[in-house]
Amino acid sequence: MRNKKLVKMTAMAATAAMMMTLVAGCGNSGSDSADKKEDATASKGGSTITIAASAGWVKDIDKELAAKYEEESGNTIEWQVSPDDQYENVLNSKLSVGEGADIFYIRSGVTINKYQPEKHMMDLSDQEWVGRYTDWAKEGVSNDGKVVQFQTWSVDGWGILYNKAIFEEAGITEVPKDFASFKTACDKVLAAGKTPIYEPGAAQWHLGTWLSELTTQEEAENAGFYDSLNDNSEVFAGKEGLSKALDQMVELEKAGYFGKDFMANTWEDMVAKMASEEYAMGVVYTTFPAEVEAVNPELTQESWGMFPIPLNDNKEFGVSAGGIGRCVNKDTKVADAVMDYFDFLSQPENLTAYYDARKDLGPCSFTDIEGNVPAAYGDVMDNASGSGFTAEDGVLYWDSAQVGNLMQGMFLGNSKGEDVLKGIDDLRQPSFGE
Amino acid sequence: MYKKKLYGMRFILPAFILYTVLYIIPTIAGMVISMTDWNVARPDIKFIGLQNFVDIFTSRGGNYLASIGHTFEFTVVTVILKTLLGLGLALLLNKGLKSQNIFRTIFFLPYALAPLIIGITFVSVLKPNGPLNIILESLGMSGLTHSWLTESATAMGSTMMVEVWRMVGWNMMILLAGLQMIPEEYYEAASIDGAGAWKKFTKITLPFLRPSLMTVTVLNTIHGLRVFDIIYSLTGGGPGGLTEVINTQVFKEFGMGRYGMANALNVVIFLMTVIIAVGLQRALSGKGKNE
Amino acid sequence: MNKNKTYKNLRKLLKFLFIAVSSLIILVPIYFIVVNSLKTVEESRMLSFSLPSVFQWGNYLEVIKAGSLVRAFGNSMLMAGVSTVIAVMVSSMAAYALSRRRSKAHNTVYLYFFMGLIAPVNYVTTLFTLKFLHLQNTYLGIILEFATLGIPFLVFLYYGFFDNIPRELDEAAVIDGCTPFQLFFKVIFPLLKPATITGIVLNFLGAWNDFVTPLYLLSDNKKLGMTNSIYNFFGEHFNDWNMVFADIILTIAPILIIYICGQKYIVSGTAGAVKG
């Protein structure tokens, strides 16, 4: 009896083991990702490069250039594009399991620290194209003295874009310089029968972008603010300038400057709304007019001006650390092919094609070509007293969407500016560990 | 003895192995992680015992208690509405209508749609200038129009209604199955005794339907506590965290790379669900019964 | 008597009207999707109920091309189809043995499966497990994962259903010289038809509609199915509601067909499970 049981148990275990090997075996034969990583080391064709990115960062031109590269080199590009709102989660989980793609896109600047650069990112400092980086690009893609990203993006920031014709029609002669003159301008727009500001309140990250711009002022007045936040010796709570700015933002909404039901406004609608000429202003980046022009050709670059967000009388223009860059996974088995691909993309001819197609980008990361220089950029810089990194690019563990979520509570009347600041501290704190 | 031979382990093993390897082991691993401070931004992982759970119940690092509250609110309201409306539909469509099959299909249809698709669709339906408000206005009820998903008064309610819309047909289907097992003779006998419709319902239908009602209530509760897709695709937890539930918070913690906390929240929902589901099952099936 | 009959008919009519009106709550949003999928971009942005001025059937072709939907459709059929077959096979077998034996140990195993209806799915650790088995980013891996996710509900569904199948059948078959597997596959399994069809429909829907699991377990975009394609498509064409709605219709059409085919069995199929 007992023996029988033993036999049975062994049989069971054997069945289980067989099933597992069968499963694993089939998996291997069916899997090309596992196999190809081992055999593909040569750069001369035949390698497959996997690229992970958020959907919004990959445009048609990226696919076209990749196709051209495939043709020239014989290598294959495999895209692993995730929806924007899922990318961060997917990237985190793949990296922590050791399944990261060969190339992965992340934001330049302080964000690099969120992904353990020394563990996951290859040092690219000795690449030929590094010498051709502009200063701002090189600064944005460097971490701990090493270049860790290949970046073809541009430095840009978010300011208040205004429609010159509507301003004129409303009788606004001077660009608002402080909160009081900004409110006056808004009142005049209202009186002229237009909505002063299109604010996509459904996009929480867009609300967060306002505050991310305004922290630039705090850093400018109080140098070292970001550094102290990043070594966890400083907090947002108690920063009166910031809480005042937030409360003033609610004031704008209460005064009806955002129109009705602004929290149902989507970012996706913003181009169309600005093109409709029903809204006088909106918080956007400097290349935005090009996108509007594509919808409404009557509105050209010249139709718009831009100034820094004047809450709390701010005059600083917050800029990014260069946008989005590509990191190379330290575990990649096809490093040579990846470098070959970057060399290809960094050729002036391909950079030109890229920036020509990306009207949403400003100046080029490389000195070879100019890229696009939007009129609004010069305009906002003229109107600003200075510029610095936004919170998103200078403050570790800042998450604009989460900040925007807190800000929505403020517009619903559930909290004040100071509560939002405390909430941001609460969100960041656990990430520093005990 | 013959039972062992006829219904041996060979039948159970394939499902058991698959389920254990691909479901239970990853889940248990997750529970172990819930007792660490694993954060993808940092290389070191420390065992911190129950600290994450303490943080959850003191809302340190996020408004966790509010999310737990919203989850309960969502669960209670949707369980009641889904079960009652499902029962109503099941009674109406049980027999007597030639077209009942068509209607059953129609009401069950939303269950076949991906929550993501339902979300995308209802985001547009519930916009301030969307179809729902258009209908209300054309019926002369423009006073009732709202920006449904972004006003504090209506956001949570709207997500609940969409969930009820999605699941009511599924409730109807299970309850219909229960109704069809009630022998017709009971009703005939009751009619001969002169019992009215209400009496038949309370004395025959409800007692017979008890197991089905129990099943839908328990499953509705499990679905309610685990809600994610619908809320995520409709409001993303907004506006201002008013529709934040535990699972949307889990998603955000994962996004921030705080795996320890994300898993701890998962454990909290799991334990809550087990306790409530077992409690419900006990309460509804009457005490003393084994199963 | 006659009066009674008219009264009855009137009640029937009222009932019909009531149900028909209620069903509009389901049908109107669906009509809304269909009608807007056939408009031009500009028209569809109005989000209105009116019929399109010109029916844009071309939207569908454009979506199929832009979203590489032919490949996505094949992927979905493969993943949802095969995983459903596996899930139904292993679950019916397990539920069969569990429900016939009902010893204490077996009841515990049943509860163990039931836990799967409640336990959270953890994608990070699942991905890790699949990697350990060398199944990450493969069709086989996602198929097994989809099958696994279906097991708890299917075991639950079948478990109750077996009470409807008399044990005498088993005994008779054994006397006729059936082996245990012959008994199950030749005698028992055909009797499970309502439960099996219900299980197939529900499991297929679950796998077809699941977009999160593939997001984590499959990297290569070329392996993604229909529901993920619509997510990506929505990301790129957020404002082209006509295209988004056309994509939605194309995604739900196949499952509707499967659902309608299996529909008449679903009531009797769930009946069994509910009793348990």
pLDDT in tens, A345-378: 999 999 999 999 998 898 899 998 888 888 899 8
Distance CA A49, CA C269 (A): 48
Q: Please state the rounded mean pLDDT for residues C102-128.
A: 90
Residues of B in contact with C124 (CB under 8 A): 30, 254, 259
| Residue A431 touches partner B, C-beta closer than 8 Å | yes
Residue A114 touches partner B, C-beta closer than 8 Å? yes
* Helix, coil or strand: residue B242: coil
pTM of the entire predicted model: 0.87
What is the distance between the alpha carbons of residues A27 and C135, in angstroms, rounded to a whole number?
5
In whole angstroms, what is the distance from residue A184 CA to residue C131 CA? 61
Of C258, C136, C224, nearest in space to B108 by CA:
C258
Residue A194: is its pLDDT beyond 80? yes
- The CATH 3.40.190.10 portion of chain A extends over 42-154+322-357, 158-319+399-432
Beta carbons of C156 and C113 less than 8 angstroms apart: yes
- What's the average model confidence in pLDDT over A258-265? 92
| Closest CB to C133 among A27, A81, A101 | A27
pLDDT classification of C166: cutoffs 50, 70, 90: confident
Q: Which of A372-386, B260-274, C1-15, C177-191 has the lowest mean pLDDT?
A: C1-15
B147 min Cα distance to partner chain A (Å):
6
Rounded alpha-carbon distances, angstroms, from residue B245 to A204, B18, B242, B269, B277: 17, 31, 9, 10, 18
How far CA A331 is from CA of A136, A243, C82, in Å, comes to 28, 44, 33
Candidates A31, A94, A97, A295, partner chain C, best to mutate (most C CBs within 10 A) = A97
Mean pLDDT of B240-249: 93
For C17-26, the CB contacts below 8 A with 24+ separation are C18/B92, C19/B92, C19/B93, C19/B97, C19/B103, C20/B103, C22/B89, C23/B103, C23/B106, C23/B107, C25/B165, C26/B106, C26/B107, C26/B109, C26/B110, C26/B165, C26/B169
Q: And the tokens for B42? A: 């940092």
Q: What integer is the mean pLDDT of A223-249? A: 95
pLDDT in tens, A114-153: 999 999 999 999 999 999 999 999 999 999 999 999 999 9
Q: How many CB atoms lie within 10 A of CB A185?
A: 25
pLDDT at B287 over 60: no
Q: What is the pLDDT of residue C56?
A: 87
Per the CB < 8 Å rule, is C26 touching B109? yes
A410 CB neighbours in chain B (<8 A) are 240
Q: Is the pLDDT of residue B169 over 70?
A: yes
- Judging contacts by C-beta atoms under 8 Å, the chain B residues touching residue A434 are 37, 46, 48
Q: What is each CA distance from B267 to B55, C121, C150, in whole angstroms?
A: 14, 11, 21
Nearest-Cα distance to chain C for A200, in Å, is 14
Encode pLDDT of A67-80 as tens digits: 999 999 999 999 99
The pLDDT-based confidence of C211 (bands split at 50, 70, 90) is: confident
CATH homologous superfamily for A158-319+399-432?
Periplasmic binding protein-like II (3.40.190.10)
CATH class for domain A42-154+322-357? alpha beta
Q: What is the structure's pLDDT at C181? A: 87
Q: What is the mean pLDDT of residues A212-241?
A: 94
* CATH of the domain spanning B59-285, picked from 3.10.560.10, 3.90.1150.10, 2.40.10.220, 1.10.3720.10: 1.10.3720.10
Report the pLDDT value the prediction gives residue C1, as an integer from 0 to 100: 53
Give the model confidence (pLDDT) of B48-76 as tens digits: 999 999 999 988 877 899 999 999 999 99
Q: Distance between CA B227 and CA B215 in Å, rounded?
A: 18
CB count, 10 Å around CB of B283? 11
B236: Cβ–Cβ under 8 A, 6 or more apart, which residues? A85, A204, B248
CB pair distance less than 8 Å for A55 and C236:
yes
Give residues 117 to 136 of B whose Cβ lies within 8 Å of A: 127-128
The dihedral through the CA atoms of A94, A344, A84, A404 has a sign that is positive
| pLDDT tens digits, one per residue of A78-111 | 999 988 888 988 999 899 888 899 999 999 999 9
Q: What is the pLDDT of residue A35?
A: 41
Q: What is the pLDDT of residues A5-41, one digit of tens each?
A: 545 554 554 445 444 444 444 444 333 444 444 444 4
* Whether the predicted pLDDT of B288 surpasses 60: no
Per-residue CA distances from B30 to A430, B13, B57 (Å): 19, 24, 19
**CA–CA separation, C95 and C268 (whole Å):** 18
pLDDT, residue A22, reads 43
Q: Which subunits count as partners of chain C given 3+ CB pairs below 8 Å?
A: A, B
Distance of alpha carbon B278 from the chain centroid: 15
Inspect the interface and report whether the beta carbons of B41 and A402 lie closer than 8 Å. Answer: no
CA distance C236 to A54: 11
Chain A residues with beta carbon closer than 8 angstroms to that of C215: 82-83, 86, 90
Statement: residue B101 has pLDDT above 70: yes
**Is the pLDDT at A339 greater than 70, yes or no?**
yes
Q: To which H or E segment does residue A169 belong?
A: helix A164-170
pLDDT computed for residue C208 by the predictor: 92
C189 reaches B (C-beta below 8 A): no
Residue percentage of chain A with pLDDT more than 70: 90
**Which of A96, A411, A434 lies closest to B40 in CB terms?**
A96
The confidence score (pLDDT) of residue B290 equals: 39
